[in-house]
């Protein structure tokens, strides 16, 4: 069994998130998703996500391609999460290309192409009337 792990905020869930998770799952047999906590987002961006963490996690956990979700509480704990969940593969979007190569001693690291023309930030701007 090949265990895949990935991380993200997945706020205002959209098809780019879905495609990433489906492709991540296709790299193994079991997909584990670290959903970043509200607190972690606040410390990173000085704003809270639109959807609170329990709702973001519930949406991700309900997907057919996802087997397990957990709280990502700290960006510095990626190595610890990889070990704890016995991941064989770390998948990240290519907005992070090269940034996680330090984990190659622990697991395979794969970067997947982002779906073009969609992001949570762009959606929020559109809803607010800016796009």
Q: How far is the CB of 10 from ligand CTP (least distance, A)?
A: 5
Q: Which two tokens stand for residue 62?
A: 């309900």
| Cβ closest to ligand CTP, residue 102 vs residue 113 | 113
Q: How far is the CB of 120 from ligand CTP (least distance, A)?
A: 4
| Cβ closest to ligand CTP, residue 1 vs residue 15 | 15
DSSP the chain: --EEEEEE---S--HHHHHHHHHHHTTSSEEEEEEEPHHHHHHHHSS--SS-HHHHHHHHHTSTT--EEEEE--GGGHHHHHHHTT-SEEEEEGGGTTTTGGGTTTSEEEEEPPPTT--HHHHHHHHTT--
| Cβ closest to ligand CTP, residue 9 vs residue 37 | 9
Q: How far is the CB of 93 from ligand CTP (least distance, A)?
A: 2
| Cβ closest to ligand CTP, residue 10 vs residue 81 | 10
- Residues forming contacts to ligand CTP in the complex (CB under 6 A) are 8-10, 16-17, 20, 92-93, 95, 114-115, 118-121
């Amino acid at each position: 069994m090949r265990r895949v792990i990935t991380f993200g905020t997945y706020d205002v869930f959209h098809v780019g998130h879905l495609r990433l998770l489906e492709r991540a799952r296709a790299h193994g047999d079991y997909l584990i998703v670290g959903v970043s906590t509200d607190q972690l987002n606040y410390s990173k961006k000085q704003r809270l996500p639109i959807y609170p963490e329990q709702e973001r996690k519930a949406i991700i956990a309900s997907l057919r391609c996802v087997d397990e979700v957990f709280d990502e509480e700290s960006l510095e704990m990626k190595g610890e999460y990889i070990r704890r969940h016995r991941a064989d593969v770390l998948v990240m979007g290519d907005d992070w290309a090269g940034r996680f190569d330090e984990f190659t001693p622990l697991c395979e690291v794969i970067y997947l192409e982002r779906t073009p023309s969609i992001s949570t930030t762009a959606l929020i701007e559109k809803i607010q009337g800016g796009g």
